[in-house]
Amino acid sequence: MKKIILLSSIVTVLMSCGSSGNGELVGVQQREFFNPTDPYGMVFIPQGSFVMGPSDQDVPFANVSAAKRVSVGAFYMDETEITNNEYRQFTSYVRDSLAHLLLGEAGIEGHLIEEDEYGNFLDPARINWKTKIRWDEQEVREILEEEMYLSTNERYNSLREFDTRKFMYEYQVLDLQDASNKSNREGNASGKRDRSEFLSTVSVNIYPDTLAWMHDYAYSFNEPYTNDYYSHTAYDDYPVVGVSWKQAIAFTKWRTQQMNKFLRANKLQASPDFRLPTESEWEYAARGGQDLSPYPWGGPYTRNNKGCFLANFKPLRGNYVADGALKTVKVASYNPNGYGLYDMSGNVAEWTSNAFDESAFSYAHDLNADYHYNASEEDHPVLKRKVIRGGSWKDIAYFIQNSTRTYEYQDTAKCYIGFRCAVDFLGRDKKDFE
């Protein structure tokens, strides 16, 4: 009898400890505390509302935008365009991943982790990043020679170089837009649709097109940029170019993976996905809190009161060097706008996440305006157009205005287009967490 009473009292205590506030609605307790910190190299863009669209006359009479008030939620954005050295971290990761896999499959110990801490077999095996790749060892060279390096008949001056055509990055996509369609949510006769139907795997070659400097400009001497712009340390802090929209998306997926891998290892909450900014976010951020201003610094002029140009573009009827740069220039060479963002005008134009449609302003929502279309390889080229913003070193002043919108094709790479990343802010304002 005593044992029964003792057990019942223990059960009562356990029930009271695990109860939801003694019957009151208090939410799930002991949840991990969230304290947002600014991602490295990014600045906070507060939520706000602005008039999106032209603040000056439509010089080329393109009729692709109209004034429209749009509200945008808070987010983070890279303070500069992604640089060559930052993008090189991505290409080096893919290169080293390939090397680890090849060495592990060849039986070289230490490159792959095939069992977890409990002795369970992992399929597929994980890369052991603690092991260094000894590139100069004879055995390593022989294993990697055929799979990672150019064949002898492709080598220039007998230089042993990586075959960058094999630098492929693979990631998964969950098409939430497709899954949200009513017909898909209702499912079929057997019930709800299987989630796998909305999952797809994307494989992208991620090495920049270094030949962009030459194929973009005939009858122009650009061989030095082709040979050295991406690889030489002199250009480490210059914006990466020759990157297609698809490659920029792959970079954001990799960056998310790297950040969350670190956070999980330190038992911290995962970060929202890095991504390309939407067209409305880009313009809102470029204005820097100055609604209706034609340029990030305000305007209406492209020089300051000392006569110095305020961005890297093509001034004075084609005097490229008048602004201090012949082509691209180091990021952050000009003053930031009101939000602390550099080079939102000029230097290189920037990919956004949005598909380009001349009439998008007419039907896009006024709350976080957005227009996406996931073009396939079989689609007509007109459906592969993606919005680029900000103008570049080769553009006249009209194209570096905040509101000027144009496009390029998602599978093309240009020597005047780069990108920067954005990431959602989880909340209304940073002050809410202070």
pLDDT digits (tens, 9 = 90+) for 419-429: 999 999 998 88
Q: What is the pLDDT of residue 219?
A: 93
- Share of residues in the chain with pLDDT > 70 (%): 93
pLDDT at residue number 191:
54
Residue with tokens 């603040």, as numbered in its chain: 55
Nearest partner of 203 among 256, 252, 247, judged by Cα? 247
pLDDT in the model for residue 426: 92
What mean pLDDT do residues 168-186 have? Answer: 83
Point out which residues pair with 50 in neighbouring strands: 70
What is the pLDDT at residue 12? 46
For 260, half-sphere exposure in the C-beta direction (CA atoms, 13 angstrom radius) is 11
User: 369 pLDDT exceeds 90?
Assistant: yes
Task: Note the pLDDT of residue 15.
Answer: 45
Strands of 385-389's sheet in order across: 405-409, 385-389, 349-355, 417-418
Q: How many angstroms separate the first and last alpha carbons of the chain?
A: 55
pLDDT of 10 reads: 44
Instruction: Note the pLDDT tens digit of each residue in 214-250.
Output: 999 989 999 999 999 999 999 999 999 999 999 999 9
The lowest-confidence range among 113-122, 169-178, 290-299, 383-392 is 113-122
Q: How confident is the model at residue 190 (pLDDT cuts 50, 70, 90)?
A: low
Band of pLDDT at residue 135, cut at 50, 70 and 90:
very high
The CA distance from 287 to 299, in Å, is 11
In this prediction, residue 189 carries a pLDDT of 52
Question: Residue 2: phi, psi to the nearest 5?
Answer: -65, -40
User: How confident is the model over 398-416, as a mean pLDDT?
Assistant: 96
List, for residues 198-207, the tens digit of each pLDDT value.
899 999 999 9
What Rg do the C-alpha atoms of the chain give, in angstroms?
26
Instruction: For residue 303, give both structure tokens.
Output: 């020089």
Percent of residues, the chain, with pLDDT higher than 90: 73
Average pLDDT score over the chain:
90
Is the peptide bond prior to 124 cis by the omega test (within 30 degrees of 0)? Answer: yes
pLDDT of residue 188: 55
| Architecture of the domain whose range is 47-83+209-434 | Alpha-Beta Complex (3.90)
What ranges do the domains of the chain cover? 47-83+209-434
Q: 210: Cβ–Cβ under 8 A, 6 or more apart, which residues?
A: 226, 227, 229, 230, 231, 242
pLDDT tens column, 3-61: 444 444 444 444 445 555 688 898 888 887 777 888 999 999 999 999 999 877 788 88
Check pLDDT > 50 for residue 388: yes
- pLDDT computed for residue 227 by the predictor: 95
pLDDT at site 184: 67
* 77 sits in which H/E element: strand 75-78
C-alpha torsion sign, points 380, 378, 281, 205: negative
Residue length, the chain? 434
C-beta separation of 249 from 200 below 8 A:
no
Mean pLDDT over residues 305-330, rounded?
Answer: 95
Please give the structure tokens belonging to residue 105. Answer: 């499959």
Q: Are 271 and 261 in contact (CB under 8 A)?
A: no
Q: How buried is residue 378: exposed, middle or buried, by Cβ count under 10 Å (0-12/13-18/19+)?
A: exposed
**What pLDDT, on the 0 to 100 scale, is given for residue 11?**
44
Per-residue DSSP letter, 190: T
- Token look-up 């954001």 returns 252
Stretch 344-353: mean pLDDT, rounded? Answer: 98
Average pLDDT over residues 301-310: 95
Task: Between 332 and 218, name the one with better pLDDT.
Answer: 332
Q: What is the tens place of the pLDDT at every residue in 281-305?
A: 999 999 999 988 999 999 899 999 9
Pairing of strands 349-355, 417-418: parallel
Cis peptide before 39 (omega within 30 of 0): no
pTM over 0.85: yes
Q: Give the SS3 label for residue 360.
A: helix
Two structure tokens written together for 45? 């863009």
Of 227, 230, 202, residue with least CA distance to 89: 230
Instruction: Please give the Cα distance from 405 to 390 (Å, whole number).
Output: 8
